[in-house]
Each structure stands twice: as structure tokens, then as C-alpha cells.
Amino acid sequence: MADNGSILVTGAAGKLGAVGRTVTGLLLDRGLRVRAMVRREDDRAASLRAAGAEVVVGDLLEPADVYRVVSGCRRVYFGMSVSAGYLEASVTMAAVTREIGVDALVNMSQMTVSQMSIQNTTPSPQQRQHWLSEQAFAWSGLPVVTIRPTVFLEGFFLPLTGSSVRDRGRIELPFGRGKTNPVSTADVARVVAAVLAEPSSNLGPHLGRIYELTGARSQDIYEIAREYSDALNREITYSDIPPEDWERELKRAGLPEHLTHHLVTMAALNRAGRYDRMTDGVERLTGRPAMSVREFVSHHADEFGGRRA
């Protein structure tokens, strides 16, 4: 396919990790034509348009919308919020892109899928749906590139430790002594953009590949708390709270059941050491090492209550 068609980015408005939003900006910076799919017209849509994207409104659960937004695009980034309809949206995207034809589909997944099989799943409905979505994309025969990041700094650590660090100087999570190696979505987006921006002549080696992405260092939350302390120049401690208390808090905050179930599973997997991961995917694909927790917290110091002078 020609190199001059548009690249479709779904989930482009961005809510938690905002991978789609960051990918949109990176592709526009490279002078590429981007069609940014959003769910509704709002300020985020307006700023995407102001940045130079062609903004299209649609629902990833509506096949006719997906057909309309994919038509005329040569490549696709597919990602959306953790939600109960994820598998349906994935299969809809597979059916539509098969019908229309694209030269690459970059599919957002999760690194836990690397540990899953028919005999060995997890209780998270999101992880099960990613596992099944990957199967469906594989059966489709589409030119798929699979992105499997571990837990996000922006999409997990910022929203779920920000207020306790701000208010009490504590990371409160039920992660035991399990190690984890969170990745920044800024790095994940750089990987996605690097693949989507490849000229057709260089795309081949990416197709069918799975890119597992972690941050810079696998460490337990006591060590992560030290990185927060260094970044904020004040003592941040880790409080290993009971899983039931955390689940109650998530429910009290009104999180959807699908997301709560997913987060509770993540915590259990963390306690079991299943997030103790290390890959060089970010550096290999982008030429730059992954962001450390300390760097991330420094960049977002205000959201964590500020850095002491």
C-alpha cells in the first residue's frame, strides 16, 4: 500500500494512559496524516483537530462506525479503555480491517497475556479478553503487530497512588513484596508510533511480532517508594494494605465491576511475583531507554503533591 494514506488512531481522546492521544501527536510531529477517532466532540477532540489531526467521531462497538473510520486508512492503532466490550470491539475491528485491507494493525494488549494459555488463564475479564482478542487477530490473517506492555505509570500508578502520596506521603497498595516494572505510556506510544511511521519498505520485519514493554527496573514497592522519595525530596513510604480494603475502596469510588475485577486480579498477580518482568523492548524499538519511576514522578511532581525545596 502507498505510504501517503492516513493512519487511524483509535481511543485518541485519551483518558488514563492516553496512548492513542500521544501516538497521534508523535505521528503528526513526523508530518504524517492522522485520522484520530474519538467517542464524542469535546475539548480533547478540538485540541486534536487544532494539532492537525482529522478527527472522526464513532463508537468502536458499532460496526458501521468502525467501517466508516477505517475506510481510506492504510494503517491502524487499535486500543481503547479497559471495558467489558473489549473483545467485541477487537473482533469488530478485525472483521472490518479484513474487509477493507490495511498494511498494518498495531494491537494494544497486555504483558500478562505472555503468561496465559488455554490451561492457564487469570480471573481478570480484561486479560481474558486480550488473550482471546489476540487469538482472533491471529486467525484473521491480518498484518498485526502486538504490543504487550506491563502495568502503566500514567494509567495505574498516577491515578491509584497520586492522592495517598499527596495527602499522606504513602503508596497504599496490596502488592506485598512482589516486584513490578511499570512502563510509561510515553514510551509505549513511542514504540507504537515507531512501527506505524515505518516506510512500507521497512514494515515487513514488524508484522506478526509481539513487543513486550517494561520500564527500567523491576523492584518491589518499598524500592519504588524510595524512587518517589528521591523525585519529590521528601519521605514516601509503602503501606502494604489488605486486598479486601483496597477492593472496597475501588468499589466505593464507583469503578465499573469489569475494571475493579481486573485491578483486584492485578494486585493478586503482583503479590504472587507475576509482574516481576524486564524487557528491552522500549530501547530496541526507539533507541532510547525506558523512563524510570524516579523520572516519571519528577515529571509529574505536582500531581504527587509537589517536590520539597
Ligand X SMILES: NC(=O)c1ccc[n+]([C@@H]2O[C@H](COP(=O)([O-])OP(=O)(O)OC[C@H]3O[C@@H](n4cnc5c(N)ncnc54)[C@H](OP(=O)(O)O)[C@@H]3O)[C@@H](O)[C@H]2O)c1
Contact residues for ligand X (CB under 6 A)?
A: 11, 13-20, 39-40, 59-61, 79-83, 108, 110, 126, 149, 151-152, 155-156, 185
Element counts in the chain: helices (H) and strands (E): 13, 9
Nearest residue to ligand X, using CB? 17
CB of 47: closest distance to ligand X in angstroms?
13
Q: How far is the CB of 233 from ligand X (least distance, A)?
A: 27
Minimum distance between the CB of residue 110 and ligand X, rounded to whole angstroms? Answer: 4
What is the smallest separation between the CB atom of 42 and ligand X, expressed in angstroms? 7
| Angle at the Cα of 117 from the Cα atoms of 20 and 273, rounded to 5 degrees | 75
Q: At what angle do helices 257-271 and 243-252 cross, to 10 degrees?
A: 160
Separation of CA 112 from chain center: 13
Q: Which is nearer to ligand X, 79 or 143 (CB)?
A: 79
Nearer to ligand X, 172 or 187 (CB): 187
Q: Which is nearer to ligand X, 1 or 61 (CB)?
A: 61
Least Cβ distance, residue 162 to ligand X (angstroms): 14
* Count of CB atoms situated within 10 Å of the CB of 63: 16
Q: Give me the torsion for CA of 64, 66, 68, 71, rounded to 10°.
A: -130
For 65-120, what is the HEC assignment? HHHHHHCCEEEEEECCCCCCCHHHHHHHHHHHHHHHCCCEEEEECCHHHHHCECCE
| Residue closer to ligand X (CB basis): 209 or 307 | 209
Separation CA 129–CA 135 (nearest Å): 10
Q: Are 206 and 33 in contact (CB under 8 A)?
A: no
Nearer to ligand X, 17 or 174 (CB): 17
Q: Identify which of residues 184 and 298 has a Cβ nearer to ligand X in the complex.
A: 184
Q: Is 89 or 165 the residue whose CB approaches ligand X more closely?
A: 89
What 3-state class would DSSP assign to 55? strand
The distance of closest approach from Cβ of residue 66 to ligand X in the complex, given in angstroms and rounded to an integer, is: 9
Max Cα-Cα span within the chain: 58
Which of these, 80, 262, 235, 83, lies nearest to 160 by C-alpha position? 262
- Nearest approach, Cβ of residue 3 and ligand X (Å): 26
